Amino acid sequence: LISVPPVQLAEKYFQMYPEEANPVWGNPCDDMRHEKIWSRNKTCEQLPRFLVIGPQKTGTTALYTFLSMHPEVSSNFPSQDTFEEIQFFNGKNYYRGLDWYMSFFPTPTNSTSRYLFEKSATYFDGDLVPRRAHALLPHAKLVTILISPARRAYSWYQHMRAHGDEIALNYSFHQVITATDTAPKTLRELRNRCLNPGKYSQHLERWLSYYPPQQLLIVDGEQLRNNPIGVMNELQRFLKLTPPFDYSKHLRYDSKKGFYCQVVSSDHTKCLGRSKGRQYPPMEERSYKLLQRYYLSHNTALLKLFKRLGNHVVPQWLKEDLSAL
Ligand code: A3P
């Protein structure tokens, strides 16, 4: 038996097991040995109990804002890089480690909230996210929000235009979604960001290969927009948030904004910023038809998934997307 100094040993090890060079942070409280050697100042209570996983442009900010109104619920402190989102499980932030992630959450002694959560809308379609999230937060509940994938794609395109993206400004939505694989890279990238997150069933199946279905709630984004009080009540039941918060007293439709907003006083509401609920022309009919066809197999699989999960109320947008082909 021979050995070598630690650095060489590590190099040898990762040559033999290259797949292990990428860390996967586990939950220290799931293993007594880890918990015992962990600093006494640290506690798993400082980890989120639920995650709002996206996808982008489905109403995630409204859901995040409404949840944060609940006195027993707290989200993470804002991140300097990504505004309110931490985006830990999907990108390079993951390599910053567990302490970095936990530093975004209040310690239990400094907080009266019993339910910590975070919302990062890019988690939904990140390849590695379900595996990583499950390794650290196996008991967390997951909340996803879905709208018509065609409308989500259009909203994303409008979002990129509003942010001054050259490609979105120079190409019509129809040109973006019909771009072929020979198109310039930047156009293909925008096309992919418009289209790929909307393959809902594929992404959900990946989450469900790690988490049991009882831990997942699929919120209908159209319902969140039109009947947020009903949706928030269902969400509170799913998350077992007690005592229940009476959203009917705290949310009111604002006809100027055209959305539900937070009640501030009898004649004042606080709505989401101008970047949420933007004004733009409706999608061209030919683009919608094309996307209906494009998403047909994905939406059919989603319908099956709904049935398998026992969600008997099929969203109206899904029925419409699957109809009139
Ligand atoms: P549009 O701006 O395209 O209308 P996200 O927060 O995930 O980026 O989603 C943004 C979308 O949330 C908006 O897209 C808007 O349609 C929707 N939304 C739902 N409820 C809303 C609310 N109460 N206020 C503002 N936007 C809301």
Q: Where are the beta strands (DSSP E) in 9-114?
A: 50-54, 73-75
- The arithmetic mean of pLDDT across residues 159-186, rounded, is 98
- The arithmetic mean of pLDDT across residues 240-256, rounded, is 96
Residue nearest to atom 17 of ligand 1 (CA): 59
Residue to probe by mutation, ligand 1, list 57, 159, 227, most atoms within 8 Å of CB: 57
Q: Does 277 contact ligand 1 (Cβ within 6 A)?
A: yes
- The arithmetic mean of pLDDT across residues 246-251, rounded, is 98
Cα separation of 51 and 33, whole Å? 27
pLDDT band at 303 (very low <50, low <70, confident <90, very high): very high
Cα separation of 25 and 98, whole Å? 7
| Window from 81-85, 127-131, 254-258, 290-294 with minimum mean pLDDT | 81-85
Q: How many helices (H) and strands (E) does the chain have?
A: 15, 8
**Residues above pLDDT 90, as percent of the chain:** 86
Cα–chain-centroid distance for residue 24? 20
Tokens of 104: 């975004």
Residue 318: pLDDT over 70: yes
Nearest CA among 69, 73, 66 for reference residue 106: 73
Q: Does 270 contact ligand 1 (Cβ within 6 A)?
A: no
Cα separation of 291 and 308, whole Å? 25
- The arithmetic mean of pLDDT across residues 37-57, rounded, is 93
User: Which ligand 1 atom sits nearest the alpha carbon of residue 151?
Assistant: 3
**Residues above pLDDT 70, as percent of the chain:** 99
Sheet holding 50-54, edge to edge: 73-75, 115-119, 50-54, 141-146, 216-220
pLDDT mean across residues, the chain: 95
Query: What is the pLDDT, as a whole number, of residue 147?
Result: 98
Query: What is the pLDDT, as a whole number, of residue 164?
Result: 98
Total length of the chain: 325
Query: What is the pLDDT, as a whole number, of residue 325?
Result: 62
Nearest CA among 147, 146, 158, 145 for reference residue 284: 158
Residue 312: pLDDT over 90: no
* Residue in the block written with tokens 């409280």: 29
- The arithmetic mean of pLDDT across residues 174-199, rounded, is 98
Beta-bridge partner residues of 50: 117, 141
Query: What is the pLDDT, as a whole number, of residue 24?
Result: 94
- The arithmetic mean of pLDDT across residues 154-183, rounded, is 98
Residue nearest to atom 15 of ligand 1 (CA): 277
pLDDT band at 3 (very low <50, low <70, confident <90, very high): confident
Cα separation of 59 and 143, whole Å? 12
Three-state secondary structure readout of 74-102: EECCCECCCECCCCCCCCHHHHHHHHHHH
Distance from residue 58's CA to the centre of ligand 1 (Å) = 6
Beta-bridge partner residues of 26: none
Q: Are 153 and 291 in contact (CB under 8 A)?
A: yes
Residue 229: pLDDT over 80: yes
Nearest CA among 240, 227, 228, 160 for reference residue 193: 160
Q: Are 144 and 290 in contact (CB under 8 A)?
A: no
* Residue in the block written with tokens 């990428």: 22
Query: What is the pLDDT, as a whole number, of residue 41?
Result: 86
Q: Are 121 and 56 in contact (CB under 8 A)?
A: yes
Residue to probe by mutation, ligand 1, list 52, 60, 61, 75, most atoms within 8 Å of CB: 61
Cα separation of 200 and 183, whole Å? 25
Q: pLDDT tens, 94-138?
A: 999 999 999 999 987 767 778 999 999 999 999 999 999 999 999
Rounded to 5°, the CA angle 107-243-248 comes to: 115
Cα–chain-centroid distance for residue 120? 5
What's the Cα-to-Cα distance from 151 to each of 8, 288, 317, 321, rounded to whole Å? 54, 8, 10, 10
Query: What is the pLDDT, as a whole number, of residue 247?
Result: 98
Residue 227: pLDDT over 90: yes
Residue 82: pLDDT over 80: no
- The arithmetic mean of pLDDT across residues 198-222, rounded, is 98
Query: What is the pLDDT, as a whole number, of residue 79?
Result: 82
Residue 92 annotated to the active site? no
> Exposure pattern of 252-272 as b/e (b: 16+ CB <10 Å)?
bebeeeebbbbbeeeeebebb
User: Which ligand 1 atom sits nearest the alpha carbon of residue 55?
Assistant: 7
Residue 324: pLDDT over 70: no
Q: Residue 5: phi, psi to the nearest 5?
A: -60, 155
Beta-bridge partner residues of 269: 263
Residue 185: pLDDT over 70: yes
- The arithmetic mean of pLDDT across residues 5-14, rounded, is 93
Catalytic residue, chosen from 57, 119, 141, 199, is: 57
Cα separation of 146 and 259, whole Å? 17
Residue to probe by mutation, ligand 1, list 276, 278, 280, 317, most atoms within 8 Å of CB: 276
